Amino acid sequence: MNQEPETHESYGMVGFSRVSTHPPTNLFGSSIKHGNLIALRISTARKYREYQKDRYMADERVIEVELSATQFAEAITSFNVGQGVPCTLRYVRGDEYNKEKREFRERCPEINFKQQATNELKKEMSDLGAKLDLLKKDSEEILTRKEPIKVADKKKLLEDLRQIDMELRSNIPFIHECFNESVDKTVTEAKGEIEATFQTVRERLGDAAIAGKIEVPMLEESN
């Protein structure tokens, strides 16, 4: 016997699905465009009781986010680490649909991590050059005076030299290390996107073979 649906403010449904996009899109926290995504949707829910069994049905969508394959893998394997993994918000309850753009929220802007890191390194080198110019100017002024060099002037020159030495030995190598990490991250994301694409193709070929009873030839091992 069917009963009226049971609702409660704590009832919810959560689900993951694979999504293909064309053209590929940007994702928050990712340095490449993605054509294959993992979508997470959370909705309110209702419970039905019939024939001694419970059935659960999604009701109103609460939030929907998109993740790359790499972000999804990191999210489910990195419990209690940091504040979480970046994701791209596609819908939050209360958003209004934009008919012109055919979506609820604007797509994530593109971020060129390589260019960003290059610009940061250029700025660091430019700042270092400015410090060297200032040190050269101060040194010439102090060393060309006829009177003896003051203790305060010696301390200032030594402090300026110490800061430049720290830039050369610590800060610039650190920025270079961060640049390499960004490149490695981009490579990892690219591999994840390729694997996700192959997985999608394999699934579609499998579905097509089942639906049309197509024989999928297997590569024979060479003798």
For every residue of 104-151, DSSP letters joined together read SSPPPPP--HHHHHHHHHHHHHHHHHHHHHHHHHHHHHHHT-SSPPPH
**Residue 203: pLDDT above 80?**
no
pLDDT at res. 138? 83
Q: What crossing angle do the helices spanning 113-143 and 172-212 adopt, rounded to 10°?
A: 180
Helices 172-212 and 69-77, packing angle to 10 deg: 100
What pLDDT does residue 216 have?
46
188: pLDDT strictly greater than 60: yes
Q: What is the pLDDT of residues 89-146, one digit of tens each?
A: 999 999 998 888 888 999 888 777 767 777 877 888 888 888 888 888 888 888 888 7
pLDDT of residue 207: 60
- The pair phi, psi for residue 87, each rounded to 5°, is -140, 165
Alpha helices per DSSP H over the chain: 69-77, 113-143, 151-166, 172-212
User: 22 pLDDT exceeds 70?
Assistant: yes
3-class DSSP assignment, residue 215: coil
Tell me the pLDDT band of 193, cut-offs 50, 70 and 90.
low
How far is residue 176's CA from residue 181's CA, in Å, rounded to a whole number? 9
The stretch 153-158 carries a mean pLDDT of 84
Q: For a pLDDT cut of 90, what percent of the chain falls above it?
A: 23
Between 68 and 195, whose confidence is greater?
Answer: 68
pTM of structure: 0.60
